[in-house]
Chain A
């Protein structure tokens, strides 16, 4: 991985533990701790967007560990174990069970403005680098200039673009797009969808339809249904997932705008409650600003 990317990524991790680690070390060595101090620790954790329930859980466990062991245990070990238990080895790999020599598809969903189109472009770039033949399909027939935006990305990356006319049925566009991908023997289709709010029933139904089209075309292992989430999102991201999971069988998450200094703690909560693996992290607007998520590196960087 390129050096600059690493740096930005590590900076992100620094932010998560910013202050929290010092505080933990301090509380650990302290003889007695008042309730306000515990509450303060909880607030520090909440500020990372991991959610109040998880924050409370961490505080309680930390506290009981401290009281039980009277300082003999290693809290770092506990924290590492605790955090790594959220993830599974190698889960960030795309298409773990893909049928080889057959078209694969990445289906990107998420609400407006989280960076789906940009992510589609970056994914296309990475795949091209790996030697895949990529087509970018835009199923966003609603937003003004969505087609153009993705087309520009396709040009940048050097792959084919397929889009429908404004107002067309997205499902039909995706159908045609996948047909054309099969015909021109492409190996990976990346489908960008319109951003939709998870409260709009009709839009969710439409999304379901598009997703069904993709799934009907390809074997199950060859489809990745990826939810794109903004690192700045709070517990609301959690609500998004709950709604979208009803209509699309999600297989993973890409966290964008990691360079925003948001702490993105929501990642832990989503990982736990929905079991969705994190695939990539987006760290900028450049074509290669997308890093495969490595849980071990991630947790190690937080704890040590």
Chain B
């Protein structure tokens, strides 16, 4: 996601690169384009105006003149502002020690409430809660059936009261059921409603007044346009959500909606839905999102993921290796195989900074991994340990052995050299090794 937005940012700030000092005109020119980019990305025009003027205020003047690299400065300011809009810190789920805890899902039709309900159920189950799913949706054909199917497929309990005359009745009975069955969190799905359907919104308000909900999630489609802000504001007139779950983030090529909604309402985004499968729900991280928007890549997520896959022992081994600065093709192979365990290639690539991503996606991801593996396997042990001995005739042999071409072997050798440099940087403890590699934050400053 956010790729295109990030790409555009990158091209704009390339123009700022290489200047010794930034003048007010430079900043203005960049910001004019930035305004268009943000608008094109469905960021609300009021938010855009605000963001631009704040960045300008901070960028033009003392701060910039004193800075050594002005481009870096503007980037930092921008990142900061976007991160601040997105909420600064990670907000945790509110799970008080009462039984049962009540969560409510509200939103427009088709925003993904039912699916999200199932996803959060699974999320809680994985964290050793015993959630119960229930739905008050009597309008959409097969809505409750959908939730039931989701519940069954994830082994969650589902409660249905088909004859219920009012949503309150469903929740009341579900609570009783939960207590009897020892379910500790009830996830209540509701019928989708437009922000202009007052009758239905009044029904929601009644529900929220009758029962104490510990979290009320506004489920919002990330692909929403300029209207997103109005949707949120209208909902607020009737019910006060405690947080946002942003769905279809994987579809959203630009992601401006999230910026505008959060800027206008101040509600924290708690989760993001990143795919159709039930496991594809992630905790929202403002910092990471801000980095991603600016093409710095979601390096934090990547590092976290890698860390999970590497056991402590292995890490020591790697660290020792890095100490010795001996990173060989054997290690590279090991890394590749570990990469495969982490998840789909595309998923991983999306976490990398933009520039690096481009390099990797030129070739078809999974396939190229296999070819890379084949090339390495066609090297002798000696070659793997000491790639510098690979000369033209060895390259030909390797290419033949792996069914590839000499060009591909060359490319791999180059990539290997880059990765080796990365490991060296990691050794020095840089937080953003991938970004560092291509200059500050992936922009080549």
Contacts and interface: CB of A to CB of B under 8 A. Distances in A.
A199 B276 CA distance: 12
Contacts of A200: 250
Given A149-B143, A260-B194, 20 more contacts: A112-B112, A112-B248, A113-B248, A114-B110, A144-B145, A148-B146, A149-B141, A230-B221, A230-B223, A232-B227, A232-B231, A234-B226, A234-B227, A234-B257, A235-B42, A235-B254, A237-B225, A239-B4, A259-B196, A260-B195
B264 to A, nearest CB: 13
B234 to A, nearest CB: 8
Interface centre among B4, B140, B141, B145 (most CB of A within 10 A): B141
B195 A115 contact: no
Interface stretch (B33-41, B285-293, B326-334, B386-394): B33-41
Interface centre among A115, A235, A257, A266 (most CB of B within 10 A): A235
Given A239-B253, A261-B195, A48 B112 contact: no
A192 interface: no
A197 interface: yes
B87 interface: no
A156 B140 CA distance: 13
Contact of A198 (B140, B148, B226, B251): B251
Nearest to B257: A234
Nearest to A261: B196
A48 B226 CA distance: 7
B230 interface: yes
B276 A112 contact: yes
Nearest to A144: B149
A224 interface: no
Given A112-B110, A232-B108, A232-B221, A52 B39 contact: yes
B43 to A, nearest CB: 9
Nearest to B45: A43
Interface of A: 43, 46-49, 51-53, 111-115, 142-146, 148-149, 151-153, 156, 196-201, 230, 232-237, 239-240, 257, 259-263, 266, 285
B215 interface: no
A259 B49 CA distance: 29
B194 A257 contact: yes
Given A111-B248, A144-B153, A236 B195 contact: no
A57 to B, nearest CB: 13
B254 A46 contact: no
A160 B256 CA distance: 42
A232 B225 contact: yes
B252 interface: yes
Nearest to A143: B146
Contact of A236 (B196, B231, B252, B346): B252
6 contacts: A51-B40, A112-B251, A142-B276, A144-B146, A149-B146, A261-B196
B39 to A, nearest CB: 4
A47 B149 contact: no
Interface of B: 1, 4, 36, 39-42, 45, 49, 108-112, 115, 118, 139-143, 145-150, 153, 194-196, 221, 223-228, 230-231, 248, 250-254, 256-257, 275-276, 346
A182 to B, nearest CB: 27
Nearest to B141: A152
Given A144-B153, A236-B42, A149 B109 contact: no
A46 B226 contact: yes
Given A115-B109, A234-B257, A47 B226 contact: yes
Contacts of A263: 226-227
B224 A234 contact: yes
A261 B230 contact: yes
B257 A199 contact: no
A235 B225 contact: yes
Interface centre among B49, B118, B223, B230 (most CB of A within 10 A): B223
A112 B109 CA distance: 11
B224 A233 contact: yes
A262 B225 contact: yes
Interface centre among A148, A201, A240 (most CB of B within 10 A): A148
A163 B256 CA distance: 37
Given A52-B36, A261-B195, A144 B150 contact: yes
Nearest to B145: A145
Given A111-B251, A149-B146, A233 B225 contact: yes
Contacts of B148: 144-145
A52 B150 contact: no
Closest 8 CB pairs of A and B: A234-B225, A113-B110, A144-B149, A234-B42, A152-B141, A145-B146, A197-B251, A148-B142
Contacts of B142: 145-146, 148-149, 151-152
B47 to A, nearest CB: 11
Interface centre among A144, A152, A196, A198 (most CB of B within 10 A): A144
A153 B141 contact: yes
Nearest to B364: A201
A48 B139 CA distance: 30
A261 B254 CA distance: 23
B250 to A, nearest CB: 5
B139 to A, nearest CB: 7
B235 to A, nearest CB: 12
Nearest to A155: B141
A156 B251 CA distance: 32
A14 to B, nearest CB: 13
Given A51-B40, A260-B196, A236 B223 contact: yes
Contact of B145 (A52, A148, A198): A148
A285 B109 CA distance: 10
A49 B276 contact: no
Contacts of B4: 239
A240 B145 CA distance: 29
A53 B37 CA distance: 10
A145 B142 CA distance: 6
Contact of B110 (A115, A145, A261): A115
A112 B41 CA distance: 20
A233 B148 CA distance: 29
Contacts of A197: 248, 250-251, 275-276
